[in-house]
Amino acid sequence: MKVYLETYGCQMNEYDTEIVKAVLLEADYELTDSTEDAEILLLNTCSVREHANRKVFGRVHSLHHQRNGIRARIGILGCMATNFRQDLLHGSNLPIDFIAGPDSYKRLPQLIEKSLREGEKFYDVTLSEFETYSDVYPVREKGVNAWIAVMRGCDNFCTFCVVPYTRGRERSRAPENIAAEVKRLAGERFRQVTLLGQNVNSYNYEGVDFTHLLEKVSEVDGIERIRFTSPHPKDFPRRLLHVMAENPKVCKQIHLPLQAGSNRILDLMNRTYTREEFMHLVDEIRAHYADMVLTTDIIVGFPTENDVDFAGTISVMESVQFDSAFIFKYSERPKTIAQRKFPDDIPEEVKTERIVRLNELQREHSLLKNRAHIGRIHEVLIEDETTKKSADDFQGRNDGNKIVIFPKGEYRTGQFINVKIESVTPHVLKGNAVNVLENR
């Protein structure tokens, strides 16, 4: 039986799709890239903002119609599952057959069989305090980077965020188990691993904390680069900064979500730090490693955000000068504390004005940051033998995760190469190859 899979949302969802593939192949299902000949269509969904939800609703309808009445089972997986189980099945006339939450994937073969056998709509969305899928080896596309979940769930309950409700309690995977998977990845010629968690630096398994985990993973031969995402600013002990600065395999890049630059809003968001503490952390990071690449997430238009609050966000951005930023309009999510306590009172036009303003400011900062690299030589790991725009260029990333583009040559994916940067845009560095790093 053929299954078609589509993934929305963050890297954790991409990783989960790799888990789902492993579970289905093990149960003798076939995977297909074609929606036409699949008997089962699975959408691994995201619920973080309303827009993500709407995209999935639209897709379910188009998949249904596209098949001209030829029956296929449609299953909803991922983060929409938990919140929408009732509505999706009964409250709406969406042609959905079953729903499976993020901790139900090992049961998918049985769920599919049940759907085929009984035809009744149903859901299986119980969240687990233990499930880490540590005994499933994901089916990954070959490449240079492998994603690997080291913890799941989140206990932070930022008031705007749906993730603690969709993915349940925080739990970490055993470090030996992670290290074994990383060794296997090295054997498959992956050069980089990215450790994943909704709150990755809160990793703790029976006293082994995130810093220990990074050290352990960096002992694996063959893996040359280690990244991680997303950390929370509240969990950056000095020891972690020290290891990041000193360990050559740990990439010099931190995604540090700010969310807002006003203490009043940060408090309403339950982020548990102040703007001063955030900026102090940035200073400490730069004291350990001056060129650390810093990226962030920011929300505009959180309930009650006024011009003074917004000016606070601008002032933190100006003081830190992030390398890049994802900026979002606040989107009210069901069940969250913000939805229950704070009316979504910022008009859409104001949210739009604010996001436009911050995107412009970030563009300036990104360009400024990138310009500082002109003339420098970067170690680049080649990821692709073409770029989106040109078949004559190679694409890779430097240690700071910036995209670097340079003309094609006698090189191959997975090689490290020195590139001298000649020009930049806010999003990429462009240069020329200097030499291949033979010993890596």
Q: What is the 3-state secondary structure (H, E, C) of 23-81?
A: HHHHCCCEECCCCCCCCEEEEEECCCCHHHHHHHHHHHHHHHHHCCCCCCEEEEEEHHH
Size of the chain, expressed as the number of residues it contains: 440
Nearer residue to ligand SF4 within complex by CB, 159 or 218: 159
Using CA atoms, how far apart are residues 8 and 50, in angstroms rounded to an integer?
Answer: 13
Instruction: State which of positions 203-262 bind ligand SAH (CB under 6 A).
Output: 230, 232, 257, 259
Count interface residues toward ligand F3S (CB under 6 A): 13
158 binds ligand F3S (CB under 6 A): no
* Helices and strands in the chain, H and E counts: 13, 21
| Partner from ligand SAH, ligand SF4, ligand F3S, none binding residue 164, C-beta < 5-8 Å depending on class | ligand SF4
Site membership for ligand SF4, residue 338 (CB under 6 A) = no
Q: Is 157 in the site for ligand SF4 (CB under 6 A)?
A: yes
Candidate list 56, 112, 154, 200; residue touching ligand SF4; CB under 6 A: 154
Separation CA 227–CA 222 (nearest Å): 15
Q: Which does 47 bind (CB under 5 to 8 A by kind): ligand SAH, ligand F3S, ligand SF4, none?
A: ligand F3S
Pairing status of strand 393-397 against strand 293-300: unpaired
Of the residues 48, 99, 213, 260, which one makes contact with ligand SAH according to CB under 6 A? 48
Does 79 participate in binding ligand F3S (rule CB under 6 A)?
Answer: yes
Q: Is the peptide bond before 128 cis (omega within 30 degrees of 0)?
A: no
Put residue 112 in one of left, alpha, beta given phi > 0 → left and psi -120 to 50 → alpha. alpha
* Interacting positions 301-360 with ligand F3S (CB under 6 A): none
Select 331 or 413, whichever has its Cβ closest to ligand SAH: 331
Question: What residues have CB less than 8 Å from 294, skipping those under 6 apart?
Answer: 253, 254, 256, 282, 285, 320, 322, 323
Query: Which residues, 344 to 373, sit near ligand SF4 by CB under 6 A?
Result: none
Query: One symbol per residue from 9 to 48: x for binding ligand F3S (CB under 6 A), - otherwise; what is it?
Result: xx-xx--------------------------------xxx
- CB contact set of 308 (below 8 Å; sequence gap of 6+): 262
Question: Min. distance of Cβ 162 from ligand F3S in angstroms?
Answer: 6
* The token pair that represents 197 in the structure block: 């968690």
**Whole-number Å distance between alpha carbons of 138 and 183:** 14
Can you give the binding site for ligand SF4, defined by CB under 6 A?
154, 156-158, 161, 163-164, 198-199, 232
Can you give the binding site for ligand SAH, defined by CB under 6 A?
48-49, 160-161, 163, 198-199, 230, 232, 257, 259, 297, 299, 328, 330-331, 333
